[in-house]
Amino acid sequence: MFFFQELVKDQKTKTQPLLNSTAVLSFSDILREVAVNNQSSKLRYPVYISGRMVPKNFRPLTEKYIPYLGKELQKAINEGNSPKIQVYIRALGKIAHPDILQYFEPYLEGQRDISNYQRLLMVTALKHLANLHPDVATPVLLSLYENLGEDHEIRTAAVFMIMETNPSANILQRMAEFTNIDTSKQVIAAVVSAITSAAKLQGSHTQQMYVYI
């Protein structure tokens, strides 16, 4: 952990884009696996022999590492550095802690400007958050999906990220009903595809949704 921490912050590393990107993304993966995803920390690491790699409430995660990556993302946006923007969006997404949303939401909600492509990356970067914290990710994703004024690619990505939350039948029915007022053929097609796949996996209790599509 310490090695990656120092590697990410090392000035020589920062001047080598490929090495810096690899270090940042690898460090984010490690943070998720040992400090956010309790299940993987038990399965992948000998916690019953040597204990957890980090304490259960690992304060540096929210007080140091996530803020650091958030500041680097903002700096890259201010500089218009597209490669770095993409790296730090992915890095924050990989951590999958609810605190990452404070760095994404101003852009997802249109309070601050970035390109649609970069906003799309932010939506897809929520995949790990959707898996580990569906209760946190779902409201954000539903808000994007149900915003008829939003870009259809953003809304479509939100649909597929909602599916990563293992949505309840109520959420799927809500989405099915929304197709009656939706104005985007692309988004409607994504919802139909998503619900069809969910119905095959979840069984007969989702079949009733088809009457709304």
Domain-located, residue 175: no
Single pTM value for the model: 0.82
Query: What integer pLDDT is reported at residue 80 of this predicted model?
Result: 97
- Contact (Cβ atoms closer than 8 angstroms) between residue 118 and residue 86: yes
How far is it, in rounded angstroms, from Cα 92 to Cα 67? 10
Query: What integer pLDDT is reported at residue 48 of this predicted model?
Result: 46
Q: Any idea what the CATH number is for the domain that residue 97 is in?
A: 1.25.10.20
Query: What integer pLDDT is reported at residue 4 of this predicted model?
Result: 47
Domain-located, residue 161: no
Quickly state the pLDDT bin for 203 (edges 50, 70, 90).
Answer: low
How far is it, in rounded angstroms, from Cα 142 to Cα 36? 23
Domain encompassing residue 47:
2-133
Domain-located, residue 16: yes
Quickly state the pLDDT bin for 44 (edges 50, 70, 90).
Answer: low
Domain-located, residue 111: yes
Report, as an integer, the average pLDDT of 75-100: 97
Domain-located, residue 177: no
Report, as an integer, the average pLDDT of 43-69: 71
Q: Which residues lie closer than 8 Å to 140 by C-beta, 6 or more apart?
A: 101, 105, 108, 126
Domain-located, residue 171: no
Percent of all residues in the chain with a pLDDT value above 70, rounded to a whole number: 76
Domain-located, residue 186: no
> Which of these, 73, 50, 65, 56, lies nearest to 1 by C-alpha position?
65
Report, as an integer, the average pLDDT of 60-80: 95
Domain-located, residue 31: yes
> Which of these, 14, 167, 177, lies nearest to 87 by C-alpha position?
14
Q: Across all residues in the chain, what is the average pLDDT? A: 85
Number of domains in the chain: 1
For the stretch 150-192, pLDDT in tens is 999 999 999 999 999 999 989 999 999 999 999 999 999 999 9
Residue 45 pLDDT greater than 80, yes or no = no
Estimate the share of the chain in helix, then strand, then coil, as percent rounded to the nearest 5.
Answer: 75, 0, 25
CB < 8 Å & 24+ apart, contacts of 186-189: 186/152, 186/153, 186/156, 187/145, 187/152, 187/155, 187/156, 187/159, 188/213
Query: What integer pLDDT is reported at residue 197 of this predicted model?
Result: 85
For the stretch 102-153, pLDDT in tens is 999 999 999 999 999 999 999 999 999 999 999 999 999 999 999 999 999 9
Query: What integer pLDDT is reported at residue 213 of this predicted model?
Result: 55
| Choice between 78 and 42, residue whose per-residue pLDDT is larger | 78
